[in-house]
Structure 1
């Protein structure tokens, strides 16, 4: 499955989604804390689809939860990510994306099943900045909460799945340092500036 080619009618690298910067990784790795920090500095951001879907489904007693129907959960996350992508296109950059559409490729890999063609097509069609930032597992800061049911071991597997999915979709993965949030933020912004200069 060739995810990396641009089958998206002009949405290739350096295209209209180039200001959308994905931060991904396993749960509990500090990625949302980093995005919250950058948002406080004035950067636009998108929410994490998985958490949003869980909150919505719990509120209405819906079946679209990973521990009830993981395929429906994946479809709801995909729809959320596409909507977030389209909204964020209109915002000035950089926009920090708390995960992205290729995370759904990783989700299917994590579940040990083939990536559906419509998910692969979404990953081809809706393109982000070519550099994707991955927060590595960080057991010392990992905590569970009402929306995070994964074990630290599943968090590690999620990280590996995302680190595989994004290169398969044609992105350059940059691993974030295990460092205080301000240092992580500076690392990310410096890497973006270096990318722009290339």
Structure 2
């Protein structure tokens, strides 16, 4: 078992990138291996809004949707496990980037008082061969690619290092993430 940084923000690892790029599948594999994972807040908001016949959906009221996602993401950070790596499927920064794009809300305003995530962020590149639309993901691949480019610009501007996930199988992607974190941690000692 590899050592894990002791402070909470250093333990919070984000998987971001292109919608439909396989992030949730990798998170499911990391959970299967016993790691703490936090599901994508946007999907959870869509699911809750659809069940409640709400209007805070990206295709009905994007601003309201993003504010709900930000609230859920903040709750996720506050209730994250107290030890070990915690892997986030998107989260607060992704929602802040979307809100900045939509309304011009400065990233720092949305991210104020939020803990920092681990310095390395894993990013899923566009992968047209696996991209699928569904009830919760109604946007097309072109929109997903535009979002991906905004995220690729925003994370480094916030001081994070992006590491692309290889376009390989789920087990290999999970192995890659864990090996990269072990190597980072070994370099800290």
Written as runs of structure 1 = structure 2, the 5 A alignment for 1:24-173 is 24-90=16-82, 92-111=83-102, 113-115=104-106, 118-122=109-113, 125-173=114-162
SS, match of residue 183 in structure 1: helix
Work out whether residues 66 and 73 of structure 1, in 8 Å CA contact, stay in contact via their aligned partners in 2: yes
Work out whether residues 101 and 126 of structure 1, in 8 Å CA contact, stay in contact via their aligned partners in 2: no
Which one is further off, 157-166 or 45-54? Answer: 157-166
Residues 112 and 140 of structure 1, relative CA distance in 2, 3 Å threshold = farther
TM superposition shift of 1:106: 2.0
Residues 88 and 161 of structure 1, relative CA distance in 2, 3 Å threshold = same
Structure 2 distance, partners of 1:93, 1:150, is 35
TM superposition shift of 1:163: 1.1
SS, match of residue 9 in structure 2: coil
TM superposition shift of 1:118: 3.1
Residues 14 and 131 of structure 1, relative CA distance in 2, 3 Å threshold = farther
Kindly indicate whether residue 166 of structure 2 is the aligned counterpart of residue 174 of structure 1.
no
Which one is further off, 93-102 or 135-144? Answer: 93-102
TM superposition shift of 1:14: 7.4
The total of aligned residue pairs comes to 183
TM-score with structure 2 setting the length? 0.90
The partner residue of 2:8 within 16, 28, 32 is 16
Work out whether residues 97 and 107 of structure 2, in 8 Å CA contact, stay in contact via their aligned partners in 1: no
TM superposition shift of 1:114: 3.9
Residues 117 and 38 of structure 1, relative CA distance in 2, 3 Å threshold = closer
Work out whether residues 102 and 169 of structure 1, in 8 Å CA contact, stay in contact via their aligned partners in 2: no
Deviations 1:114-146 (A, max 9, x none): 436531425xx3211111100000000111111
Residues 129 and 135 of structure 1, relative CA distance in 2, 3 Å threshold = same
Structure 2 distance, partners of 1:60, 1:117, is 32
SS, match of residue 140 in structure 1: coil
Q: Which runs of 5+ in 1 are unaligned?
A: 1-12
TM-score with structure 1 setting the length? 0.86
RMSD (Å) for aligned C-alpha atoms: 1.8
SS, match of residue 97 in structure 1: strand
